[in-house]
Amino acid sequence: MINALKSVRLMSSSSVKQAVSELSVPVPWGEIRGRVWGPEHGSPVLCLHGWADNSGTFNTLLPLLPKDCRYVAMDLAGHGCSSHRPAGVLYSFPSYVLDVRRVVEALRWTKFSIIGHSMGGNVGGLFSALYPEMVESLVLLDSFGFLPTQTKDIPRLVRQGLDEMIEYEKTMADKKTRVYTYEKAVERLLAGNKSLTAESAKILLERGLVPAEGGVMFSRDFRINLKNVVRIGLEQSLELLSSIQASVLVVLAEDGFERMFSETEEREFTSALLQAYRDRNHAVATVPGNHHVHLNNPENVAPLVSDFLQTKVLSLSSRLTDGQISKL
């Protein structure tokens, strides 16, 4: 089923000093691409990037994490090297969850861990709630696992998203994608992402650009910018969170995602979600850095994630293996 793990090669990024392999999983409209680190029989960990990023977001962090894990970092549909969704189709959290389901089915993973940054953390949270028996541990990097919407705002936001899609199909669908020089592409990415360093931007652009006549184009699908039309409130988010059976580690950045929430009600949402994790004996930590701290300053994040994986995944696997051997 997989046209996967094609060729092992050294990556061009100076931040990755090890060989990784390329992943390609067929899907009905094309392929989901990604990268793979670690031993073939290592404990499986799926890595999910944030909105408008790609699997390169983990390039600096994964080399610092336990070597006994098998890390698969996806390019979500419409991002990085993965295919865009078919014409007329919107991007939504359930569709990303379905893509994760397709990938782990192709990999034949029945139990695995998830590391998700930002939107990828929300995809991981929803997947962990819907398929609790499949997820052993969940790491949320500057993410709360869910993104509640005020119930009163849902009709307006859903309508806005639908109208944006209609407008896109009228004016943008056949419009040629803008071509940049590489230097201008770096400038464009940095202008829209204040939390990225120049080096981090270049890492993301390794999979975020495609060649074009006269320069390069961004590879991501413009439709990922359209308003999300599948929304849930705080009550539904907390109910889903209560379904998660995995051990959870929430790693927040001091100058990160939470600072975007200026409304009192929005901060009440994040506080309620964090309290729900604490009430279930999950771990919540804060590290110095901004929304992309895992990419810009991975040394701030790696010790927490490494200890969590070692304690919740690797040591447990070791104990189970020892127990099985002792019965022989």
Residue recorded with tokens 């650009």? 209
Reported as a pLDDT band with limits 50, 70 and 90, residue 266 is confident
Reply yes or no on whether the pLDDT at 198 is more than 70. Answer: yes
Q: What integer pLDDT is reported at residue 221 of this predicted model?
A: 97
Judged against a pLDDT cut of 90, whether residue 9 lies above it is answered with no
pLDDT at 318: 59
- Which residue, among 221, 280, 278, has the nearest Cα to 252 in the 3D structure? 278
Do the beta carbons of residue 95 and residue 86 sit within 8 Å? no
pLDDT digits (tens, 9 = 90+) for 113-164: 999 999 999 999 999 999 999 999 999 999 999 999 999 999 999 999 999 9
**Alpha carbon distances (Å) from 207 to 44, 144, 202, 204, 315:** 23, 26, 9, 6, 34
Q: Could you give the C-alpha distances from 83 to 34, 76, 221, 226, in angstroms and in order? A: 11, 9, 9, 17
Q: How large is the average pLDDT for residues 198-219?
A: 98
Q: What is the pLDDT averaged over residues 72-86?
A: 99
- pTM equals 0.91
What's the mean pLDDT in 265-276?
Answer: 92
Q: Alpha-carbon distance 263 to 258, whole Å?
A: 11
Predicted confidence at residue 99, as pLDDT, reads 98
Residues that are catalytic: 118
> Looking at residue 2, what is its pLDDT?
38
Residue 328's pLDDT is what?
A: 40
| Beta bridge partners of residue 153, listed in sequence order | none
Provide the residue count of the chain.
328
* Three-state secondary structure call for residue 47: strand
The least confident of 121-125, 167-171, 204-208 is 167-171
Radius of gyration of the chain (CA): 20
Count Cβ atoms within 10 A of the Cβ of residue 185 and give its class: 0-12 exposed, 13-18 middle, 19 or more buried. buried
**Band of residue 18 on the pLDDT scale cut at 50, 70, 90:** low
Average of per-residue pLDDT across 234-259: 96
How does DSSP assign 112-141, residue by residue? Answer: EEEEEETHHHHHHHHHHHHSGGGEEEEEEE
Which of the four pLDDT bands, split at 50, 70 and 90, describes residue 262? low
What is the overall mean pLDDT for the chain?
A: 91
Boundaries of every domain in the chain = 8-150+232-326
Q: What would the mean pLDDT of 264-277 be, rounded to a whole number? A: 91
Query: Domain 8-150+232-326 adopts which CATH fold?
Result: Rossmann fold (3.40.50)
